[in-house]
Amino acid sequence: MAPIDEEETLAHQPVLLREAIQALAIRRDGLYVDATFGRGGHAQAILDALSSEGRLLGVDKDPEAIAAGRALAQQDRRFSIVQASIGELARVVAEQGWLKRVNGVLFDLGVSSPQLESAKRGFSFLQDGPLDMRMNPSVGQSAGEWLANATEKEIAAVLKTYGEERFCRRIARAIVQAREINPLTRTRQLAEVVAKANPSWEPGRHPATRSFQAIRIFINNELEELRAALEQAVAVLAVKGRLVVIGFHSLEDRMVKRFFRQKSRGENLPPDLPVMQDHFQASLQVLGKLIWPTPEEVSQNPRARSARLRVAERSAH
């Protein structure tokens, strides 16, 4: 039997909650965006810090998250929610009339515990459900549909690029061979195929973890949307507004780290270009170092063990 990944077994708990609220440096009358609403754990803490004049906008593309957000909006007039991807952040904020007025944007990336725990969503390798993995099940192709038609080379490339899976070719070959016998339509089918094809099981980690992560990221276009969302977040922030990002794996964290570094240095122009320094001033100031969860939080919520938080502030330029 494959080892159980503790991230898959827990009820929803917002990760790095105290640290995220501190990083946002909330103004009581400010305008804030929770761009990955989920089930509202961070959103409720933001609302608790706002006065009656403050406002919070939630964004999510998961219909179940939207339902939870609408319930919260009925209870609290300071909150509203829009169904959209993080890659549509600027449009959503513009529709609110908040462009360059937002005091803080929060991204809590990845898949949420309620999504993992719902077998019908197809994110989990521990529960048998339809092989879907879409954040919004009404848009795009499911993981099962993609795996039914992708070439071995395409599958291997996704496993390597988005899962950093060392045995990507071996696993991709096994998937193609398995689907020739029976269509891969269930999560447990895929997990068993990957587990058998993976010759090196990491202690305490299910051998299908990287493959499921890779396919999920690919199906939902997560890294491309994050790249667009980071740029848009800078554009919507007011001067001194905070951008706070919680990530869970190295791919997204590297992207955030490089983005923060680039925006804090200004445009990378040739040294002999005849422009004044004022023309390429930095748009962000990185605040502090990478923040990890405390040992106490990890002991209470093992899902937090891979979380890391970065924060930056919008510069006057």
Q: Which two tokens stand for residue 224?
A: 């491309």
State the angle between helix axes of 187-197 and 209-219 in degrees (0 to 180), rounded to the nearest 10. 130
Output the six-digit token pair for 243: 């951008």
SS3 204: coil
Q: List CB contacts of 295: < 8 A, sequence separation 6 or more.
A: none
CB 94 within 8 A of CB 31: no
Residue 28 near residue 49, CB atoms below 8 Å: yes
For the annotated binding site, the residues are 40-42, 60, 86, 108, 115
In the chain, DSSP assigns E strands to 31-34, 55-60, 79-83, 102-108, 237-247, 284-286, 308-314
Binding residues for S-adenosyl-L-methionine: 40-42, 60, 86, 108, 115
SS3 269: coil
List C-alpha distances in Å: 27 to 45, 157, 187, 258. 13, 45, 44, 28
Q: What is the DSSP letter of 176?
A: H
